[in-house]
Amino acid sequence: MTIRLRISALALLSALGVAAGCGSNGNEGGGPCTTGESRTCVCPTGSEGTQICPAEGVWGTCTCSGDGSGGNSGDPPEGSGGSQTSGSGGSGDPPDADAVASVAACIDTLPDWAQQNASSAGTETAIINAIIAACDEFAPAGAEWQTYCRAHLAGAIVAESSYDATSVVVDSYAERSVDGQTAYDPTVGLLQIRFSSTVRDFHDNGPMDALARIGCSFQNVGSQDEVFWATGANQYLSMMQEPACNIAFAAWYYYIHATGNGGTQVTYAWAYCNGEGVAGNLAIGLLSHLRGPAGAIGADVNDAYVTSIRGYFDGCLGSVPSPHPFEITLQPEPSKYCG
């Protein structure tokens, strides 16, 4: 089994909290649900919203109205980078029907076992909506990148978890010693994010408003130490397993490094947001996710991880342009990826 490092560069800022639209409802966990069931949830502003169970076992996003929170209609706030190209799945409005159909068709090209996992777990609708919303926010500039991003994420989920949203992988790094305590820091969910790196880096550097629009809300609960980040996955596991949260964090992580970690020296998220990003490509973003940003420097773009996702990507597109989208140079976009 490949060890996925994804280790954060800094330990300087505040710790993560989670609001009800993503993995909790008041003081309750995400938990199972029955199709059509509804409940009250908490919007990013603190007001109440409504959460519907669109498919057995998986709560949908928190729908907030009347206070401007959680919405994906109209123009994005300045600096958010939200492209608003097709109507994402992160607002109270349903995602664009053509976008849904294209992602569903992409999933239909994947191996049978991945398709079965997506449908049998009752998560396919939530996954499709999250992919559309995450690409709406984090795909590189250009209308074609909405298509490329959706195909990339659909294929990457196969490589990472075989569409098992509950997947938890405890490797040696997950149980490292931190200040005399044993960590609990596994890779989690559809795209195998890690609390101490993917989630922490977004918390410290990413655009919170974009995350809310995708359907995953979390709040600052004050400064925490290394022990918190090394052990906090246990407290926030259900949040990390939510498709909207898991896919949002990972999409941001892929693309901030795809657009900024292309140099001969590693560029971490904090440096990118300080204007130090170096143009890269999606293959670099994939390897930054797999190995941590430092592990992508000088790495072979024909690495087996990249080529496996590329195969699923090509199958989704059918006709693949040249140069291949994984090899297109992507310029830094701090206004999109930095909070």
Domains of the chain, residue spans: 17-66+84-337
Q: Residue 65 above 50 pLDDT?
A: no
Confidence of residue 95 (pLDDT cuts 50, 70, 90): confident
Q: Residue 62 above 80 pLDDT?
A: no
Parallel, antiparallel or unpaired: strands 24-25 and 193-194: unpaired
Cα distance between the two ends of the chain = 34
Confidence of residue 199 (pLDDT cuts 50, 70, 90): very high
Q: What pLDDT, on the 0 to 100 scale, is given for residue 52?
A: 60
Q: Residue 78 above 60 pLDDT?
A: no
- Rounded to an integer, the average pLDDT of 331-337 is 98
CA dist 104 and 115 (Å) reads: 10
Confidence of residue 55 (pLDDT cuts 50, 70, 90): low
183-187, 200-204, 297-301: which is most confident: 183-187
Q: Residue 147 above 60 pLDDT?
A: yes
Confidence of residue 84 (pLDDT cuts 50, 70, 90): very low
Q: Residue 26 above 50 pLDDT?
A: no
CA dist 120 and 316 (Å) reads: 21
Inter-residue contact 142 to 303 (CB < 8 Å): no
Q: What pLDDT, on the 0 to 100 scale, is given for residue 335?
A: 97
Q: What pLDDT, on the 0 to 100 scale, is given for residue 28?
A: 27
Contacts 24+ apart (CB under 8 A), 92-100: 92/63, 92/64, 92/65, 95/128, 95/129, 95/132, 95/133, 96/132, 99/132, 99/146, 99/150, 100/128, 100/129, 100/132
Inter-residue contact 237 to 231 (CB < 8 Å): no
Q: Residue 63 above 80 pLDDT?
A: no
- Rounded to an integer, the average pLDDT of 25-48 is 49
Q: Residue 296 above 60 pLDDT?
A: yes
What is the overall mean pLDDT for the chain?
80
Higher pLDDT, 58 or 227: 227
Q: Residue 59 above 50 pLDDT?
A: no
Q: What pLDDT, on the 0 to 100 scale, is given for residue 325?
A: 97
